Amino acid sequence: MAERTWETIESGTPDPMPFMHPVMKKNYGKWVFHNHPKPGVLYHRAENGDEIWTVKAGTQRQMDHYTIRKLADIADQFADGFVRFTTRSNIEYMVSDKNKVEPLIKTLTDNGFPVGGTANSVSMIAHTQGWLHCDIPGTDASGAVKALMDELYHEFTHCEMPNRVKMSTSCCEINCGGQADIAIVIQHTKPPKINHDLVANVCERPSVVARCPVAAIRPALVNGKPSLEVDEKKCICCGACFPPCPPMQINDPEHSKFAIWVGGKNANARAKPTFHKLVAAGLPNNPPRWPEVSQVVKKILNVYKDDAHSWERLSDWVERIGWPAFFEKTGLPFTKYHIDNWRGSRSSLNASTHIRF
């Protein structure tokens, strides 16, 4: 049978073998242990004594080709040309020669790529596309991440947190992003404004009606033209109607805000996975540095760093001290927006597959 080549596969996960460092390929499934000699570096030993070091550095994720060429040149010089990117947009170099590890770290640092993000550090923030690529963002996730990571540089390059801190940023309320110890998510606070002149030309109305999770959208005739209307009392301002129907504009410089959620975790380690919970809402969407968001995130991180026991993830810490103590210690105001546990969702959520008219 002809060997499958990665070039011909256009979907799914590509075969990792062609991209793997020869030492990793040779010892696939035969690694005995790994340890963490210093921030940003992992050491792996194989059964036959082969060794390899992983050196992790932060990148800005959205890079011009000069930057990518620079990173590739560094790989040619120190890592036999092999790299990989992590889900948090860190770059990892695999180095089989111990003598190249420190020169690689120096070269990366001198070129502005901080080495770190391993073990109990604050790793790079997993984030979404923002204004550059997506057609529905209410903010620029990449920009907010850059501004925040500039302020968390020390926490990336040092391992001083009680446990790993994974963060995410999402530039709409409904799509990318994900569970994280601290998640920064856009928050719309007003229902969409409908441009009735465009709806009939641009939107497939039944799909838009079906999109709404609380059945707040109905077809309507406006000025003799087929359009849509929103029951604003029901609308939860989620923004789900905007992607299939851009004339239902929900992004707004004043009313699209930021919210911070805390305590999410995908891993099964030590405790079961958890959903993050809302802890701060209505923060201004304030480019280019989003100082109000940074301030709240840093406040949470500082209190967690001082108060949590070793190896407690953020969710474990909150579980131990309780949410009232979390709000007390962080000084974040506890408001009526924090207590909706969706008990009413059976009657309000649009759980049916039928399209309603």
* Residue placing its CB nearer to ligand SF4 in the complex, 87 or 111: 87
Is 46 among the residues that bind ligand SF4 (CB under 6 A)? no
Toward ligand SF4, which CB reaches closer, 230 or 318? Answer: 230
Among 145, 147, 159, 172, binds ligand SF4 (CB under 6 A): 172
Instruction: Identify the CA nearest to 113 among candidates 122, 104, 121.
Output: 104
Residue among 117 and 247 whose Cβ is closer to ligand SF4:
247
Residue with tokens 């969407």: 285
Q: Which amino acid is at 345?
A: S
CA proximity to 278, closest of 221, 333, 219 = 333
Positions in 238-257 near ligand SF4 (CB under 6 A)? 238-241, 250
Which amino acid is it at 23? V
Cα dist from 61 to 117, 131, 275, whole Å? 14, 14, 26
Q: How far is the CB of 229 from ligand SF4 (least distance, A)?
A: 10
Among 101, 167, 182, 216, binds ligand SF4 (CB under 6 A): 216
Site string for ligand SF4, 222-241 (x = CB under 6 A): --------x----xxxxxxx
CB of 173 to ligand SF4, least distance (A): 8
Write the Ramachandran bin of 223: left for phi over 0, alpha for psi from -120 to 50, otherwise beta: left
Closest CA to 175 of 207, 141, 143, 145: 141
Which CB sits closer to ligand SF4, 72 or 220?
220
Binders of ligand SF4 among residues 119 to 138 (CB under 6 A) are 128-129, 134, 136-137
Contact 192, 212 (CB under 8 A): no
- Pick from 105, 124, 217, 314 the residue near ligand SF4 by CB under 6 A: 217
Q: Is residue 192 within the footprint of ligand SF4 (CB under 6 A)? A: yes
Cβ closest to ligand SF4, residue 118 vs residue 170: 170
Is 187 a binding residue for ligand SF4 by CB under 6 A? The answer is no
Tell me, by CB under 6 A, how many residues bind ligand SF4. 28
**Tokens 């909706």 — which residue?**
340
Choice between 120 and 169, CB closer to ligand SF4:
169
Q: Is 115 in the site for ligand SF4 (CB under 6 A)?
A: no
According to CB under 6 A, which one of 40, 143, 162, 191 is a site residue for ligand SF4? 191
d(CA 321, CA 167): 21
Q: How far is CA 106 from CA 35, 113, 153, 218, 323, in A?
A: 21, 10, 16, 60, 43
Among 211, 257, 265, 276, binds ligand SF4 (CB under 6 A): 211
303 is a site residue for ligand SF4 (CB under 6 A) = no
Is 308 within 8 Å of 271 (Cβ atoms)? no
The neighbouring-strand residues paired with 97 are none
Residue 210 binds ligand SF4, judged by CB under 6 A: no
User: Cα 322 from chain centroid?
Assistant: 25
Q: Binder to ligand SF4 among 62, 77, 96, 175 (CB under 6 A)?
A: 175
**243 token code pair:** 């992607």
Stretch that binds ligand SF4, among 69-77, 212-220, 259-267, 276-284 (CB under 6 A): 212-220
Q: Is 272 left (phi over 0), alpha (psi -120 to 50) or beta?
A: beta
User: Does residue 242 contact residue 251 with C-beta atoms inside 8 Å?
Assistant: yes
Nearer to ligand SF4, 51 or 229 (CB): 229
Q: Is 214 in the site for ligand SF4 (CB under 6 A)?
A: yes
Residues 6+ apart with CB under 8 A from 179: 168, 264, 265, 266, 273, 274, 275, 276
Interface positions with ligand SF4 (CB under 6 A)? 128-129, 134, 136-137, 141, 170-172, 175-177, 191-192, 211-212, 214, 216-217, 230, 235-241, 250
